[in-house]
Chain A
């Protein structure tokens, strides 16, 4: 504009003859013509069909077993006893048995599932302090106000990890046994309990507060208390592996990744395929799970499950996408035919197009 003002002469105010100012920018004007739309439609139909079929084949190759143990087997006793609030702190063990009809080939993943547990309530989700969990010393003793109502206990001792999410951490534990046929020796199914959380969560998002070489983890967490529902302090979550304690405990990390929907499953362990008979996966046969039954679900009409599943490149066994693709393929095909008919009957000679 400044350049324009400087011009003088008889045509001083003449606008520049640029394509932009004269709205003549070269452009591509696509139009929904027969030659583009119909081939596109048919291609889409074929594409969806191909994707749907290949997904379906993939999904058929995965195996999954779900077992609701809320009231199953001896766990019913625990379920009943937990209904009594006074038993809340008491540990209760039970066992459920099941049979695998077919062998689970490949890596097998062990999940626990919860139903009707609303990890996605706004107040619940907000009730955490990422700064504390990433190991900030200051936040360890002064948790953020977001952690309401689990910031400090009655004695005004700060809670670590604070907040409702951590407080409600799932605390059932499982031990899986395999017995090929009745009478066979009982093998404990080895589960690898590490590497179950996202790499970024384990290495960036969750860190223990910095400690000197001389300090133990317990000393670092001194001056804090564990969440009220917890039976163990945070530095003792994994009695077996000292490096899996504190905020970097993988069960805690998995739990802290809140689910989007009220029904969800979370990874508990992965089958270790180093020893027989599990080198190929889980063989068919009878299994039992010893459960330390701590987590109360009766309050909110929830259910608890264990899920065994194999995965493919497409993830777990979810039949929705393949079927949705097949349905879409059919739909696109029907629409394409419909459009073809319309074009054939009305638009072919473009007589509508002439004024």
Chain B
């Protein structure tokens, strides 16, 4: 097949030889031409005007159902076989094909439109030594193009030169990987020196050799040869299509990959198509039904053979057989005829209806006001419309922490200065007062440079600072000096901080509001406003933060010439380096720290140290030597840092609140009640994660035990996991119980399931990234899974994006349970894609998570409504729909089966052909759709009130193979009633005027009316929620049936379409007969009776949770709104994590000597970080966009590399 394809492709000349290496001449189109590199035009559309019909039809017929109906249609065209007129299949098939085609066409038109828009964007291209504005699609590989600030990058470019010092450019990669923080790229000096000289660029004759097009966003390999010199190229020098240029006036780049070859395009279009478990089950069932159909047809074919031999052979006097047909051949033909007649067991409208129901339920999610977040104007969005019912079956939730459970907004909340704690509001009796929205905030208007969004409640601190308390001033001076924040002052007094972590931004902002305003920095100095006076400190050294040091220091020289070292860091670390004289202060501060930690705040200890000049001189010399040392640079620097950061004087501590999103603890509690297990997978440190765990009620003090797995070897991890398991469930066997089964289409899919094990008590498991790396290996993963699944709460910290996906896969694979992953950042994408359902939190950290998610909304707490209300209803509706749909079609079909025994197995239908055509499309379509779009057993408030209502979905109770078999038995019973009662009532009777009524046409009408009324009654019994629409659909469909029937059986229709509507007069002549109506009544009673009795008995004897709640609903009015509990304040000795970013600091760049090479020539007035960028800007605290350099591996990913 593959070779065939390539053959065709080579025939069409589409596919070039596979590129081994790319070789590009800059500024030389003729030389690049022979390589036939793709130009920069893109095409994401699938069809054009001419190819639409054939291609689209071809695609549609690849679907099993459509293909099946095509085969049926072909069968019907064979006169020997055709037992039904062609229109019975053509009408539904055409309807389905048209609907799908229209949808595909409109999608494709949109793609065409966006392609066109993108291709026609303009960019400046350097052609023949001058800049010309060209369309994007005309840009070719090897061209040099000029980009300006805020422009999209046109193609994958090799950065040549930029307006910024050091040839840096800043780019935003939100469209590419979803991260909104700016990244830095740097051009080679050899090209950077050209500057913006057009002649210089025009005569640039570099040659690039690089890798062929690929989809790795973080790797690039190649060389640039200029004037005989070869330079290595890496990812740092490449701008990728899809990025946006920021903070950079202009830059020039050489096009390396164009259009379809760009990494953006190479990365797109590979979304995994998710299917729900009901889909899977439905496929299996449809397969079973095919088998069943074959069995029925075979039985009837054999019956036909027997009949032909015994009766038909003598009936040939009246109905001669066609030439060459004997009993055996006739049976063969009959088989196919019955395949046509009984095809209604797998009706095409099933698939259409399922799609419509899912679409409808998706719209409800989009429309839900209770999932709309007014602050960011974000409604919930169902991005995938095919997964709704799966939302009602979730068993495991995997949640990210930052931005998902928390707001990713840090606020400076409390501090301890010189042994006194600030930040609490105390009433006149000295009691702590709960801080609410109404609490009086501190007035900062005395400070012109204060950030108006900063909120603080304790007025005593401001007074202290303004009184000139030295310790307090030193405290804030430290906060204003010791950081790596970049300031941005667009207009005088309007300051914006670019912090690499929100914590740091919060601290600097706090200092700013308390009168120590960080104004600007150069590599060698920091300018701050100290209580209104401008002071410039010389910056001597930045002892940067990293994960081992867990602290950061700066050494500055004040204008008065004093040398000071300011240090902030994790309390444990700073405490080790304190001067003995601070012992007493240390104790009080420790108690404050414990208090803060108990409130779930992130803390830092602050300290300083005065240095003397001589020592500093010496240290700086050694520092310089270490810096330029070829080997052991890191160790030597660490030693130096260690040496100077000792005998510190404690200043106090800060407490920053990592704000939880609203309603997170309540949501988690409700979800836990619904028997959903929540695992938190976070890149954060263990302490932070634990803290959040406590803050959002996942970890509680009253839990039996919280296991912490933090071993560094595989053996250690195994031991700790086993120990935890033994503690929880001592009697469990050592080997996990793995149930192997087969499922899926043709039973080809092997499933392995680890059974749940019961435990007494509530446990929690916290596992860190190192241990997780070991635990996820083949031999330990089952142990991890068993232990983790015994726990109520699982928190994995320091996990990489890959590990997140692995954990999800593990549970998916061995638990056969439906999983949901929720996250907001690019690091959650892998897990969102891996889980059955991915949910993205929109409006926070870029769009990547949302783009790859199936559902998105703005707040974690909406998850409760999504699952407990929408998910549950969708599942309920889908299952009801399927049960009813199979019921009505099986009943319909089985009647034909019984009739076969009376019509010599001749494939005669019981019903009128038109009834067969319209049964699924018109007569029964709307009522069942109405039920599956509107039904709700109890309303949303009760659903949220009783999370237990969710469990039937998790256990697959409403629709399974068992339920399907029950459905079939029920249909079988109904069809027996619906055939034999009319038969017995009619076979020997006449009309009240003695004329015929047992003729075929009257019987067909009677049978179809009985059937329709019986299935409508069944639908009414199934419907729990009768809206006006339901009433309209049910009564409307019944009326439509009678109206259409009378119309089709009317004189006019017969006289116009004589052979199409031969049932003339049947309705008039038989529906005026009392015995016909008495027969209909009897069949209806007999069909409904057992159902009513059975359901009533069940409700009385074994009421389900639904019955109980519904019973309660009938007795009570609306449920009382859930009481709003005040957040629980924990008294805990648990020390919190320290408030520091995940990533290494920006110190190196800040102090980089290279800054001196070229100073900014002019002060730019352009908006650097337009605030309108952020949808959150309104009414929200300042959001800090971190700046990270690309070449630094984010710390989160380190464990994966170590493992």
Contact = CB atoms under 8 A, between A and B. Distances in A.
Interface in A264-309: 264-267, 270, 296, 299-301, 309
Contacts of B1078: 51, 55, 321, 325
B1176 to A, nearest CB: 13
A354 B1062 CA distance: 59
A313 B990 contact: no
Given A131-B1059, A324-B985, A109 B1000 contact: no
Interface in B981-1005: 981, 983-1004
Contacts of B936: 23
A300 B379 contact: no
Interface in A44-99: 44, 48, 51, 55
A196 B995 contact: yes
A265 B995 CA distance: 10
A335 B1089 CA distance: 9
A309 B984 CA distance: 18
Contacts of B379: 13-15
A320 B985 contact: yes
Given A17-B369, A200-B1051, A350-B1111, A315 B377 contact: no
Given A121-B906, A204-B1065, A342 B1059 contact: no
Contacts of B1065: 198-201, 204-205
B692 to A, nearest CB: 30
B1054 A205 contact: yes
Interface residues of B, number: 101
B318 A167 contact: yes
Given A122-B906, A260-B998, A312-B992, A342 B1100 contact: yes
A118 B1092 contact: no
B1058 A197 contact: no
A13 B981 contact: no
A292 B1003 CA distance: 31
Interface stretch (B133-141, B309-317, B725-733): B309-317
B1058 A131 contact: yes
A65 B847 CA distance: 86
Looking at chain A, what size class is its interface with the partner chain?
35 or more
A317 B702 CA distance: 80
B1073 interface: yes
A265 to B, nearest CB: 7
B1110 A149 contact: no
Interface stretch (A29-37, A180-188, A214-222): A29-37
A200 B996 contact: no
B59 to A, nearest CB: 28
B315 A300 contact: yes
Nearest to A24: B939
A168 to B, nearest CB: 4
B1108 A204 contact: no
A142 interface: no
Contacts of B121: none
A107 B1099 CA distance: 54
Contacts of B991: 311, 315
Nearest to B1073: A315
A27 interface: yes
A150 B89 CA distance: 29
Interface string B351-370: 00000000000001011111
Given A11-B377, A316-B988, A22 B369 contact: yes
B1114 A33 contact: yes
A261 B1054 CA distance: 25
Interface stretch (B821-829, B831-839, B1024-1032): B1024-1032
Interface string B1044-1070: 000000010011001100101100110
Given A146-B1059, A339-B1097, A354 B1108 contact: yes
Contacts of B675: none
B1151 interface: no
Contacts of B311: 116, 118, 300-301
Main secondary structure, interface of B, reads helix
Given A33-B1114, A167-B318, A321 B904 contact: no
Interface in B907-964: 907-908, 934, 936, 939-940
B993 A262 contact: no
A266 B1055 contact: no
Interface string A190-208: 0000001111110011000
A210 interface: no
A54 to B, nearest CB: 10
B336 interface: no
A352 interface: yes
A318 B988 contact: yes
A238 interface: no
Interface string B1088-1117: 010011011101111101011011111000
Contacts of B1059: 129-131, 144, 146
B995 A353 contact: no
B1178 interface: yes
A31 to B, nearest CB: 6
B83 A15 contact: no
A321 B995 contact: no
Given A205-B1054, A342-B1100, A120 B902 contact: yes
A267 B1100 CA distance: 54
Given A263-B987, A321-B1075, A25 B1028 contact: yes
A248 interface: no
B1086 interface: yes
B77 interface: no
A21 interface: yes
B1001 A257 contact: yes
Interface string A121-140: 11111010111001010000
B903 A27 contact: no
A14 B987 contact: no
Contacts of A34: 1100
B1062 A346 contact: no
A90 to B, nearest CB: 16
Contacts of B1062: 130
Contacts of B228: none
B1074 interface: yes
Contact of B1051 (A168, A204, A311): A204
A136 B1058 contact: yes
B319 interface: yes
A290 to B, nearest CB: 22
A240 interface: no
A350 B1107 CA distance: 11
A135 to B, nearest CB: 10
Contacts of A264: 998
A119 interface: yes
A343 B1101 CA distance: 8
- Pick the most buried of A205, A270, A301, A325: most chain B CB atoms within 10 A of its CB: A205
B1000 A149 contact: no
A311 B994 contact: yes
Contacts of B983: 261
Contacts of B1138: none
A314 B1051 contact: no
- Pick the most buried of A123, A149, A254, A325: most chain B CB atoms within 10 A of its CB: A123
A11 B1027 contact: no
12 contacts: A10-B1178, A118-B906, A131-B1058, A198-B996, A258-B1001, A260-B999, A265-B990, A299-B314, A299-B317, A315-B989, A321-B985, A342-B1100
Given A23-B934, A25-B1028, A262-B902, 6 more contacts: A10-B374, A13-B378, A119-B1000, A167-B318, A197-B995, A339-B1097
Interface of B: 83, 311, 314-315, 317-320, 322, 337, 364, 366-370, 372, 374, 377-379, 873, 902-904, 906-908, 934, 936, 939-940, 981, 983-1004, 1024-1030, 1051, 1054-1055, 1058-1059, 1062, 1064-1065, 1068-1069, 1073-1075, 1078-1079, 1081-1082, 1085-1086, 1089, 1092-1093, 1095-1097, 1099-1103, 1105, 1107-1108, 1110-1114, 1178
Q: Which 5 A-B pairs have the closest CB atoms?
A: A200-B1065, A347-B1100, A260-B1003, A21-B367, A109-B994
